[in-house]
Amino acid sequence: MAAAVLAGAALGLTYVYGHDPHDPTVAMPTCLIRHVTGLDCPACGTLRLTYDLLHGRWAQAGHDNLFVLAGAPLLLGLLVRQTRAVWRGRRAPLPPALAYGLGATALTWMIIRNLPGWPL
């Protein structure tokens, strides 16, 4: 199972590396929240961010989605924590304060980034 997840991640990253999501003619998944509401969700721009990081463009990545870029170390740490727990046959639920804090922060980011005149 882990090998399939790693293979899928590698294939996805390989596709993103070779196909620029900044180009509207490139086939990329669309954000359902943006499609329905017209608003950028907290994760909108993450494919562009990933492409930019894979190509060493840190400043452009920050412009694509500063929230995800700033939160990447925390999200990576949580992924490692969950992976270890699964390999050991355990559960690793998020502490409620962290879960609610992440949700509130993501909602706040969504509101801020959709304000008129917001540069990012």
d(CA 22, CA 90): 40
The residue behind tokens 């329905």 is 36
Which residues fall within 8 angstroms of residue 2, CB to CB, at 6 or more apart? 83, 87
pLDDT value of position 120: 63
Which of these, 108, 50, 39, lies nearest to 75 by C-alpha position?
A: 50
Q: How do the pLDDT tens digits run along the chain, 120 residues long?
A: 668 888 998 999 999 999 999 999 999 888 999 999 999 999 999 999 999 999 999 999 999 999 999 999 999 999 999 989 989 999 999 999 999 999 999 999 999 999 998 776
The sign of the dihedral angle between the CA atoms of 105, 106, 109, 115 is negative
Q: Rounded to two decimals, what is the model's pTM?
A: 0.83
In angstroms, the first-to-last Cα distance of the chain is 38
Which tokens sit at 34? 């943006």
Reported for 54-59, long-range contacts at CB under 8 A and 24+ positions apart, including other chains, are 54/13, 54/16, 54/17, 55/17
pLDDT value at residue 109: 94
